[in-house]
Chain A
Amino acid sequence: DIVMTQSPDSLPVSLGERATINCKSSQSVLSSSDNKNFLSWYQQRPGQPPKLLIYWASTRESGVPERFSASGSETDFTLTISSLQAEDVAVYYCQQYYSFPCTFGQGTRLEIK
């Protein structure tokens, strides 16, 4: 199975500041045939199910605020929140769907500093 490793485990950020979460896969999730990275990002607020933010590594899901962006390719990916809002406090997960079975990172807890 592909192992997804996120860093940091916990990230304190001040309101209005930028937050950056990293995700590294144990092997490339880039499909050479269609040049797509098979990676998604989720937000899980306390007591809630995960919510899809990003798929194909950088495509924002409908309704997701523009302050959320993502980038990366092959094995290294980043989720960025440009200006942290109070409602962004959550655990964030990356997921690869390149290889079966799909696997998730361990999560990064984003908190207000």
Chain B
Amino acid sequence: QVQLQQWGAGLLRPSETLSLTCNMSGGSFSGYFWSWIRQPPGKGLEWIGEISHSGFTNSNPSLKSRLTISIDTSKRQFSLRLNSVTAADTAIYYCARAAVMVRGLTPTPGWFAPWGQGTLVTVSS
């Protein structure tokens, strides 16, 4: 079965760039979106963005200007970069596999399963 293992820096200063990587094992990249979701401490879930095996990306409009998601299928990894972070970006960041929904002109994410273990990223001066 698919397993996701993620890593990245856990403490950042304001204005720095958040960088996380997720390794996928036990399955194929094709036919799914590979997503990032975050959860501020004690709060709910926010979808960040995603990438397909071919490099097609979707991003949450609220984060799009600061966001880069990339994929390296040869390494079985996909990555998140969020620049110019502030304290509001403090959260647990999860990678996850998403089902692909095709209802309009572009595919969008469906449900998420499985999820990575999560990485707490704290932004503090």
Residues of A whose CB lies within 8 Å of any CB of B are 31, 33, 38, 40, 42, 49-52, 55, 61, 93, 95, 97-98, 100-107
Contact = CB atoms under 8 A, between A and B. Distances in A.
A107 B117 contact: no
Given A38-B101, A100-B108, A51 B113 contact: yes
- What 5 A-B pairs have minimum CB-CB distances, sorted nearest first? A52-B113, A49-B115, A40-B111, A104-B45, A55-B111
A26 to B, nearest CB: 15
Given A102-B47, A105-B44, A107-B44, A97 B115 contact: no
Contacts of A38: 101, 110
Contact of B94 (A49, A55, A107): A49
Contacts of A42: 112
Contacts of A102: 47, 108-110
Interface residues of B, number: 23
Nearest to A33: B103
Contacts of B118: 49
B5 to A, nearest CB: 12
A103 B60 CA distance: 10
B111 A95 contact: yes
A100 B58 contact: yes
Interface in B71-125: 94, 96, 99, 101, 103, 108-118
Nearest to B49: A101
